[in-house]
Amino acid sequence: MIRKILCSLGAMAALGLAAPAAAQGCPAKTLDDISTSWTNALATGTPYRMNLGEWVDYKENFKVASLGEFFSKERKVDWQLALKDTQACRVLVETVILDPERPLVFATQMDNGFFGTGPFHNLVTDAGDWQFDAAKTLEHVSKEDWGMIPEGQRNTRAELQAIANAYLDHLKDRSVAVSWAPQCARLDGSVYVEGADCTAGLPENVAAIDRNFIIDETLGAVGVFARLGEDKVPSSQLLRIEDGKIRYVHTLASCATAGCTIK
């Protein structure tokens, strides 16, 4: 039967609700296969490179959308990073594409469900979105080190989530302490802040609600989808944590109107 690239509007439609298989965990190889198939699908312009069930739950910028429409053409991936959450059986892939027709920077959460890959949550940014410039983003991320952290030096899953939560809480409440690495870097869209102090230009009095986590202890990485500020702007935060301190933060935000601010 031809798979239907349609959107399920059932109980799994709520943002962040994982597939039932997720609670059981899964091997890293399974998640490697999902991230590889996603990359291959982008390169070939068809979602059929992935192991899809008959019904596909796909959301783009927190709204029900069409997976088939997202794969409208072949795309060359210029940079990519994959987080594998073996406990939740989920993957997050952050991608930069410098297609002259439509440059993109996006973060994609994918689950390994009973009937195939899904649901999908895709946070897509392009021209007009918050501080968007794909070429500058690529320039900055290409010089970062997201390599595997030696096993004896890794923070626990609980520690990583607590540090990520503290960062997000700090956006609303400056009294919440955040531990920055001695040399840190923060990427807001395409704007890069680095050095001994990564707080310059950090949004203030901004609540981060509806948080949806993917955690990879091997990379010291936490990916969080959340709604930011009074406009509840769809966003992705990706943090690299080394020895309990934040080394990198990437933030993507999708604007309802071009050139939005986060407040």
Instruction: List the CATH number of the domain containing 209.
Output: 3.10.450.50
Backbone torsions φ then ψ of 215, nearest 5 degrees: -130, 130
For residue 16, being part of any structural domain is answered with yes
- pLDDT band with cut points at 50, 70 and 90 for residue 20: very low
Instruction: State how many domains the chain has.
Output: 2
Pairing relationship of beta strands 58-60 and 116-125 according to DSSP bridges? parallel
Query: What are the pLDDT digits (tens) for 98-133?
Result: 999 999 999 999 999 888 999 999 999 999 999 999
2 within a domain of the structure (yes/no)? no
Q: Which of 73, 107, 141 is the last residue of a domain?
A: 141
Strand 180-188 to strand 116-125: parallel, antiparallel, or no bridges (unpaired)? unpaired
| 34 has a pLDDT exceeding 50 | yes
Establish if 258 belongs to a structural domain. no
* Main-chain phi, psi angles of 170, to 5 degrees: -65, -30
Instruction: Say if 102 falls within a structural domain.
Output: yes
Which pLDDT band, with edges at 50, 70 and 90, does 190 fall under?
Answer: very high
Asked if 189 and 203 touch (Cβ cutoff 8 Å), the reply is no
Q: Report residue 49 as tokens.
A: 């490179």
Share of the chain above pLDDT 70, in %: 91
Q: Is residue 260 part of a domain?
A: no
157 and 136 in a common domain = no
Q: What is the mean pLDDT of residues 225-252?
A: 98
Mean pLDDT of 223-234: 97
- Same-domain check for residues 130 and 155: no
Categorize the per-residue pLDDT at 13 as very low, low, confident or very high, splitting at 50, 70 and 90: very low
- Both 63 and 87 in a single domain? yes
- Does 123 lie in the same domain as 36? yes
240 and 156 assigned to the same domain: yes
Q: What is the mean pLDDT of residues 167-187?
A: 97
Q: Is residue 84 part of a domain?
A: yes
Query: Worst-scoring range by mean pLDDT, 2-11, 20-29, 55-64, 235-244?
Result: 2-11
**pLDDT level of residue 17 (50, 70, 90 thresholds):** very low
> Which pLDDT belongs to residue 49?
86
- Residue 20 domain-assigned (yes or no): yes
Residues 156 and 100 in one domain: no
Residue 14, pLDDT above cutoff 80: no
**Same-domain check for residues 202 and 225:** yes
**pLDDT, average across residues 73-92:** 98
What is the C-alpha separation between 5 and 53, in angstroms, rounded?
9
Q: What's the rounded mean pLDDT across residues 56-71?
A: 96
What phi and psi, each to the nearest 5 degrees, are found at residue 262? -110, 115
Owning domain of residue 172 = 151-253
Alpha-carbon dihedral angle through residues 227, 183, 243, 112, given to the nearest 10 degrees: 40
Do residues 87 and 191 share a domain? no
Compute the distance between CA of residue 221 and CA of residue 65 in angstroms, rounded to an integer. Answer: 28
Type of residue at 87:
Q
pLDDT of amino acid 259:
83
Give the helix/strand (H/E) hosting 137: helix 134-141
Domain's final residue, options 121, 141, 161: 141
- The CATH number of the domain holding residue 91 is 3.10.450
Q: Are residues 32 and 76 in the same domain?
A: yes
Average pLDDT, the chain: 91
Percent of the chain with pLDDT over 90: 84
User: In this structure, are 131 and 166 located in the same domain?
Assistant: no
- Structural tokens at position 103: 């440059």
Q: How confident is the model at residue 23 (pLDDT cuts 50, 70, 90)?
A: low
Last residue within a domain, chosen from 122, 141, 160: 141
In a domain, 3, yes or no: no
3-state secondary structure of 140: helix
CA distances from 111 to 80, 84, 105 (A): 18, 10, 20
